[in-house]
Amino acid sequence: MGISLKLLATTFTLLAVVLFVTLSPRELLPNNIPLHTPQVHSNFSRFPPRLPSCLVRGGAFKGFFFSLGYLRGVERNLEKDEVTRKEILENLGNASPVHHANGTTYSGKSFAVVAHLMGMSFEDVVTIGLDLQRKWMDGKISRFDIVSKFIDEVLPTNPTTPLPSALKTQLHIITSTTAFQPHIQTPTTISETKKLLIQTSWIPGITGNSFFSDGEADGFLSSYKHPMFEDEVAEQDWDLAGFKISMTKEDAESAYNYGLELGRNNTHSIC
């Protein structure tokens, strides 16, 4: 009888969790999604409307390079002119010299979207990454410093510098609140962008030295409540999702080229 009661209690507990996940309100979604009014793209009313944006799901180090390659591949497939980081920084505040899809992202891959929108090449980012890796392995920086230092290398360091137009209008970042609700925001300044990038990649004990960063954490923690999107970057295997701090340039290049090939073969995605 004791075993049966224990099993029954476990069943009710699991049921309560499922009901909480499926029925609790998405309190930070309706009024905080800085996108256009969603359009329904399904013949079945029971499905939620899809937001007019491309979702770049979260991922770790290899996933970052995969997504960077994928986004660059799509751009080449559309025969868009590639713009360098130098050209973007020289045109701050002006209209973006190249069109990019309206993107929503979270966790580690948000850095790939930002690096892409900033016109950074594979060599640019892998050089930064390997330099930070060496400093961490030599004990010169803490693992909790890697994210912020990487951001400083990608974005302008002066907080008063105008945010590049592509980031201001086409970048939407998902974080998770202390109640594990998704919170989608569009940064409008360099400082806001840095803060959101730190929050959406904040994993306690791995990239963050506390549970939350100003009440927000990694966007993955609320992924079970994320809204639907019109499109998303192609799925990748589990090998691209792991945290491999000892990753080599060859590992990064392999993931980048894999994404680049998939992006070049993309003939339908809005990403």
Q: How many helices (H) and strands (E) does the chain have?
A: 9, 6
Percent of the chain with pLDDT over 70: 65
* pLDDT per position as a tens digit, 212-271: 999 999 999 998 898 888 777 755 565 665 656 678 899 999 999 998 998 888 765 555
Q: What pLDDT score was predicted for residue 268? A: 55
Please say if the pLDDT value at position 5 is more than 80.
no
Of the candidates 162, 172, 139, the residue with the CA atom closest to the CA atom of residue 32: 172
Q: What pLDDT score was predicted for residue 92? A: 47
* pLDDT per position as a tens digit, 44-103: 233 455 677 778 876 667 888 988 998 888 877 665 555 555 554 454 444 443 344 578
Q: Where are the domains of the chain?
A: 28-264
Whether this prediction's pTM lies above 0.85 is answered by no
* pLDDT per position as a tens digit, 113-129: 899 888 899 999 999 99
Please say if the pLDDT value at position 179 is more than 70.
yes
Please say if the pLDDT value at position 195 is more than 90.
yes
Least confident span in 20-29, 99-108, 261-270: 20-29
Which pLDDT band, with edges at 50, 70 and 90, does 14 fall under? very low
Of the candidates 198, 191, 118, the residue with the CA atom closest to the CA atom of residue 150: 198
Of the candidates 176, 160, 173, the residue with the CA atom closest to the CA atom of residue 214: 176
CA diameter of the chain: 74
Tokens of 270: 């809005």
Which pLDDT band, with edges at 50, 70 and 90, does 19 fall under? very low
Q: Which residues neighbour 246 within 8 Å (Cβ) at sequence distance 6 or greater?
A: 133
Q: Which residues neighbour 251 within 8 Å (Cβ) at sequence distance 6 or greater?
A: 62, 244
